[in-house]
Chains A and B, each alone.
Chain A
Amino acid sequence: MENENTVIRVRDLVKKFGQFVADDHLSFDVYKGEIFGFLGANGAGKTTAIRMLCGLLEPTSGELTVAGLDGFKQREAIKRRIGYMSQKFSLYEDLTVNENIRLFAGIYGIPTHIRKEKTEELLEKLELGSARKKLVRDLPLGWKQKLAFSLAIIHDPSIVFLDEPSGGVDPVTRRRFWDLIYEAAHEGITVFVTTHYMDEAEYCHRVAIMSAGKIVALDTPKALKKEWDATSMDGVFLKLARSNE
């Protein structure tokens, strides 16, 4: 399956915490421009996996290539080419929208004039122009989320990792958030997303379903629904869970 479009290559990736195996021999490929979903219940090993891919966690063993770079030896170089948004969407709450943008653009070495252009573009797209001088703390959750995502891709990374990005918001806000994700994917940014919301799984091009540290299924939502004879990803997930008991 591997080809020149492969942006993430994972082979037999293992992460142990003491005796506990959080991720057990994961193997998969993610292709350029794809929205790849990692689906599973809490504690299935999704967050551990995404943290290894981002270089936040050291894998115990296996092979890992991200954006053409070695996940063991070139971790800092990988960080220039990826973006990351965690479930806490870690913006600085005591900084304004503008100040957050300036900080993260600055950290990625974006020159001032380009940053200013990008800031205007971004604020317009998110309809946040009037809130630019507001503290992030005072923004509604949905806005924080969109801002965090936009900052995660401000340096035009080849891959963006989203760890349960839409926790705590209603389905309508979630839908709007996914519009942003589609837009990014359309511009060629590969999206790797973990979630336990089944409606989100439907939005992905391909999903891997995790259970107890292992990948138990990997295909397009359409193919999975067909294989498990279900009308929704929810149905797939329930049938899969039962068959694994």
Chain B
Amino acid sequence: MKILRYLLQKEFIQILRNKSMWPIIFLMPIIQMVILVNAATLELKKSDVYVVDQDMSDASRQLVDKLKGNPFFQITSITDNDHLADQQLLNGKAGVVLDIPENFEKHLKRNNQASLQLRVDAINGLAAELTWSYMNSVIVDYNNQIRASWMGVSKFDPPQKIEVSQRYWYNPSLIYSFFMAPGVLVILVTLVGMFLAAVNLVREKEIGTMEQLNVTPIKKYQFIAAKMIPFLAIALLDLSFGLLIAKMVFNMPFEGSLLVLYGFTTVFLLGVLGLGLLISVVSETQQQVFFVSYFFLLVFILMSGLFTPVESMPTWAQWLDHLNPMYYMMKVIRNVVLKGSGFFDLKYEFLSMLGYGVAMFSLAVMRYRKTA
């Protein structure tokens, strides 16, 4: 154990002495948190609506007024030229085209029914669906309104109607940054920990100091542990820094216990740092390490549930996701931060991540060869 102490002392001196580490440790969290959390949003705001009103009636104007009052939509122009609408959709100037046909009001009054047409740019399917459903709710609302005003509401015979009132739990105002910030924190600690540790180890191979250590009686687990612990500490430091930014910039709530979050993050980092070091012990150059780590990181992030819910992935992918440490951590951090989940609520995630960490550490130790 004494050897580990000397190795750790060496690593920390080297890290603290390396000036190029400071921007990575302190600038990266700021940039990631402030830019990513704000920019990476799935919220639908201000979708451009192009209205083709060929009726120009009271009824059609009422509908357009309803749209004007909706925060999700922004009416770019109202014309009766259907041909222009196509072009607007084609060159991306409109996200959605609402066609109000001629005789809209007449049909509505005479037949008690009328048709509208919605054309939605569905390049981004998710956004298109959202646009469509918001649009739909505006029209349903409009529908109810004219029905009530034309028929008159009878006190004795009110129209039957089920009303749903919404209440969102754990993030009542549906603030998107509260959802994104914890997720970006997971990426941050992974990126910092995994890359720094992996690059540090392979650098010793490149400059030849690794060979010098290999002729000493140093134990393999001591070497791997000495490469892991400093970067685990740096990653946890960045977690603290990131949490502080989330609190100050986004006013993100923190419902759970810090101890639980740090405990889980440590176990999570054991796995990703272990993987980084495993990649490093089987690689010879920094390029190799970068390429392979980047590959894993990309898959981990895209399948972590950061942007898209894991539940909407195909079953086989969900099953595969159990090999993705970020999948567990993403769930853990959001639940701890927003819901206040404790250790026992997340014990399955804890055990999975612990298993992952032990496996990765052992593999890195096993694959590290002191003899070529």
B208 touches A107 (CB 8 A): no
Of residues 4 through 19 on chain B, the ones whose CB sits less than 8 Å from some CB of chain A are: 5-7, 9-10, 13-14, 17-18
Of residues 211 through 249 on chain B, the ones whose CB sits less than 8 Å from some CB of chain A are: 211-218
**In whole angstroms, what is the CA distance A75 to B371 when docked?**
9
- Of the candidates B2, B9, B208, B214, the one whose C-beta lies within 8 Å of that of A109 is B2
- Of the candidates A58, A79, A88, A103, the one whose C-beta lies within 8 Å of that of B215 is A79
A56 touches B2 (CB 8 A): no
Q: Which A residues have a C-beta under 8 Å from some C-beta of B?
A: 51, 54-58, 75-76, 79-80, 82-84, 86, 88, 90-95, 99, 102-104, 106-109, 161
CB distance from B5 to the nearest CB of A (A): 7
Q: Which B residues have a C-beta under 8 Å from some C-beta of A?
A: 2-3, 5-7, 9-10, 13-14, 17-18, 207-209, 211-218, 370-372
Residue of B208, B212, B214 contacting most chain A CB atoms (<10 Å): B212
What residues on B are CB-neighbors of A99 within 8 Å? Answer: 10, 13
What residues on B are CB-neighbors of A83 within 8 Å? Answer: 215
Given contacts A55-B371, A103-B6, A106-B5, contact A86 B17 (CB under 8 A): no
Residue of B2, B7, B213, B216 contacting most chain A CB atoms (<10 Å): B216
**In whole angstroms, what is the CA distance A51 to B217 when docked?**
15
A–B pairs, 14, beta carbons within 8 Å: A55-B215, A56-B370, A79-B216, A84-B212, A91-B209, A94-B17, A95-B10, A102-B9, A103-B9, A106-B2, A106-B9, A107-B6, A107-B7, A109-B3
CB distance from A102 to the nearest CB of B (A): 7
What residues on B are CB-neighbors of A76 within 8 Å? Answer: 217, 370
**In whole angstroms, what is the CA distance A94 to B203 when docked?**
13
What residues on B are CB-neighbors of A84 within 8 Å? Answer: 212, 215
A90 touches B217 (CB 8 A): no
A90 touches B211 (CB 8 A): yes
CB distance from A73 to the nearest CB of B (A): 12
Ranked nearest first, the 7 interchain pairs of A and B with the lowest CB-CB distance are A106-B6, A90-B212, A84-B215, A88-B208, A90-B209, A90-B208, A79-B217
A107 touches B215 (CB 8 A): no
Given A57-B371, A75-B371: 18 more A-B contacts, CB < 8 Å? A51-B372, A55-B370, A55-B371, A76-B217, A84-B212, A88-B208, A90-B208, A92-B14, A92-B209, A94-B14, A95-B14, A99-B13, A102-B6, A103-B10, A106-B5, A106-B6, A107-B6, A109-B3
